[in-house]
Amino acid sequence: MTKQDLIDCHERIKPFIHITPVLTSRLINEMVGAQLYFKCENFQRMGAFKMRGAANAIMQLTAEQKKNGVVTHSSGNFAQALSLAAQGLGVKAYIVMPNTAPQVKKDAVRGYGGMVIECEPTLEARERESKSIEDRYGATFIHPSNDDQVILGQGTACVELLETQPDLDYVVTPVGGGGLIAGTALAAHYFGKHCKTIGGEPLACDDAYRSLMSGQIETNETANTIADGLKTQLGDRNFPLILKYVDEIIRVTEEEIIVAMHLIWERLKIVCEPSSAVALAAVLQQKEKFARKNIGIIISGGNVDLSQLPF
C-alpha cells in the first residue's frame, strides 16, 4: 500500500465522511509535559473512525459486487459503519450479529439500513452465518479490520491529523483488530516527518503487544476489559504492517483507562468510549517518554452506553 493509495482513498471517501476536528487541552498538556493534539473521530458519521474504512471498501467493489450487497459480522461500530456507508451508496448490507448483542445496537444497525441476521455468540457461528449469506446472495464479505481497503480508509484520519499538525513526533492510537493502527502507521510513515506510531492496549487483552514481541499473531484466553471495542485480534493483512511500521505497544490497566476517559470527558468536554481512552492512558503512563514532544492521539469513537459509565 503506497502513499498514492492513501491520497486516492482520502479523495474518494471525502463526500461520505466528516473531516473531524482536532482539539487540545492546556491542562492535559501540563499533566504530560507535552503538546497533545486529539483527532476527534467521535465526531465522525455514526460516531467512530470505522465509517472511513467501510465507505472505502464498498466504493472499491465492482458494479456486480455492489448489486449483490456486502456482509460482515460485528456487534459494534463496524456493523453501524458498514450499514450507513452501504445506505449512502445504494448497496444492501447484511450484518451478522450475536443474539446476545444489546438491542440498542441492533436497532442502530437497522436504523442505518442494515439487515440484521442473528446467530449464536461465537466466532465460529458468526463466520458460518456470514459464509452462508455470501453463498446465498453473492454478497461480498468485508472484514472490520483485516482488509486492505478498510486499512487504507482508517489511515485517512491520521492523514488529516498530519495535514493540520505536520510536526508530530508520535501518533498514538488504540489497538484492537489492528485496522486503525495499521492504517495510522502507514499514514505516519508516508506523511509524517520521522513520526512514530505507538499503540495503547488493555493489559487484560494484550495479544497485540505479545504479537509484536513474538513476531506472530497471538490470541487471548480471556478479554475482560472495559474497552469492549478492543477485544478482537489482529489479522494476516494488518499484522505485517504493524510489524513493519509500529514502534511500540503500551499496555494499560483498567484503572488507567477509566482515569483517562474521565479526563477526556472533563477537560475536552467530549463524549468518548472506553476504547478511545486507551491511547491517552498510554501517554499518561509513560510521561517521561513523551515529555516535550508533539503527540497526536486518535479518539477512535464516542458510541458509549450512558447507563454503563465507569465513573
Could you tell me which residues come within 8 angstroms of residue 269 by beta carbon, excluding any fewer than 6 positions away?
Answer: none
- Work out whether strand 246-252 and strand 294-299 pair parallel, antiparallel, or are unpaired: unpaired
Q: Residue 174 phi/psi, 5° resolution?
A: -65, 155
**How does 58-75 read in b/e, with b if 16+ C-beta sit within 10 Å?**
bbbbeeeebebbbbbbbb
| Nearest 10 degrees: Cα torsion 195, 144, 60, 48 | -60
131 is catalytic: no
Q: Are 75 and 206 in contact (CB under 8 A)?
A: no
- Catalytic residue, from 75, 130, 211, 276: name it: 75
- Catalytic residue, from 50, 92, 105, 196: name it: 50
* Cβ neighbours of 279 (radius 10 Å): 34
50 is catalytic: yes
- What is the spatial distance between Cα 2 and Cα 14, in angstroms, rounded to a whole number? 19
Exposed / middle / buried, residue 100 (Cβ in 10 Å: 0-12, 13-18, 19+):
exposed
Active-site residue list: 50, 75
